[in-house]
Amino acid sequence: MKFKKGFTIASLGLSSMLLLAACGEDSASSSSSVGGEAEAVSLRLAHNQGEDHPIHTSLVELTDLAAEKSDDSVEIELFPNGQLGDERGVIELVKSGTLDMAKVSASALESFDSNYSIFSLPYVFQSEEHYFNVMDNSEAVQEIFQNTRDEGFFTMGWYTGGQRSIYTADTKVETPADMNGMKIRVQESPTSIAMIEAMGGAPTPMSFGEVYTSLQQGVIDGAENNETGLTSNKHGEVAKAYSYTEHQYVPDVLIVSTSMWDGLSEEQQQAITDAAVESSESHKAVWAEAIDQAIIDAEEMGVTFYEIDKQQFIDAATPLHETYQSENEDSKRYFEDFQSYNE
């Protein structure tokens, strides 16, 4: 069965000064016509990371490239730090057409379209190379990205968010038995919840902003994320043991309002798409450099990094793979397609 192809990477949103100013209006606002060509547009893009985070750095590059490639007919304004709401909130805004674009975790889209659950499936990606190969080349990925177009939004592309591993207050995690009884914060994703259960822990869904205090106060015993969580979000002050379970590679994805996108000229669409592809590719190097620095900084905070044998965790996750594939024919062919890129 042939997969449908779609756009490859991002278009993002910006414009006015406050979200309130946009409520009740069309999200993408037009300005004067440029030389008789397409009217200039100002779009708004929201995300929940800080301005010192590598994803923000790459989104800044996106905005610059979009302006350059469109001869300044596309302006993109960034709203970082969750200014316009949490991930679920901004997805709802993009879906309704109130917000033009957003960068969110693929896990956050699982409750809007169950096809996105494959990105949270533990060990669906066997390595970073496998992950990049799938995300850059798989037609299954593009089909999933386009599936929600008629529902008001779709995904144009992705940025790497690296691998996700377990970190705790002070306990090295080498086997699922080590996680027995541990309360581990997870994203609000059914697949991630099932994953921690399979890995031996007690999943505790909560917003990312609550993790530091919850670790500090002992409400949770640990969390799972990439290394930047230890530094950008200061979790390394309260979590001193990072064990490389490398159970997930969950991409950050760029979603856009269908109505906004359809209102752009073909030239503007192409400019944004090309800009997003370029910034997504360069983000891989930005991310790698940020991870190297995060490890150095975390070690200075007293964090110890542990390389472990992951096989017991992989074995524990296998039943989740079988359950996922049994859900429907699409799930089975998506999973098989992803595995075909594991060279």
Mean pLDDT by 10 residues, the chain (343 residues): 38 35 45 59 95 95 98 97 94 98 95 94 96 97 97 96 96 96 91 94 91 96 96 94 97 97 97 96 97 98 97 95 95 97 88
Per-residue buried b or exposed e for 58-81, using 16+ beta carbons within 10 Å of the residue's own CB: bbebbbebbbebbeebbbbbbbbe
pLDDT for res 28: 55
pLDDT for res 188: 82
pLDDT for res 278: 96
pLDDT for res 80: 96
φ and ψ at residue 239, rounded to 5 degrees: -130, 115
Angle between helices 311-325 and 329-339 (to 10 degrees): 140
Give dist(CA 245, CA 309) in Å, integer.
8
SS3 241: strand
Stated pTM of the model: 0.86
Give yes or no for a contact between 7 and 255, defined as CB atoms under 8 angstroms apart.
no
> What structural domains and CATH numbers belong to the chain?
19-160+251-293 (3.40.190.170), 164-249+294-337 (3.40.190.170)
CB count, 10 Å around CB of 31?
A: 12
Give yes or no for a contact between 74 and 66, defined as CB atoms under 8 angstroms apart.
yes
Give yes or no for a contact between 226 and 164, defined as CB atoms under 8 angstroms apart.
yes
pLDDT for res 343: 75
Percent composition of the chain: helix, strand, coil (DSSP 3-state, to 5): 45, 20, 35
Give yes or no for a contact between 95 and 152, defined as CB atoms under 8 angstroms apart.
yes
SS3 55: helix
Give dist(CA 128, CA 156) in Å, integer.
21
Which residues are paired to 290 by β-bridges?
none
φ and ψ at residue 285, rounded to 5 degrees: -70, -40
- Contacts of 149 by beta carbon, 8 Å cutoff, 6+ apart: 258
CA-based nearest residue to 240, from 171, 303, 164 = 303
Give yes or no for a contact between 161 and 224, defined as CB atoms under 8 angstroms apart.
no
Which residues are paired to 206 by β-bridges?
none
Alpha helices in the chain (DSSP H): 19-22, 54-69, 87-96, 128-137, 139-146, 190-198, 211-217, 228-231, 258-262, 266-300, 311-325, 329-339
pLDDT for res 189: 85
pLDDT for res 37: 63
CB count, 10 Å around CB of 193?
A: 17
Give dist(CA 133, CA 79) in Å, integer.
30
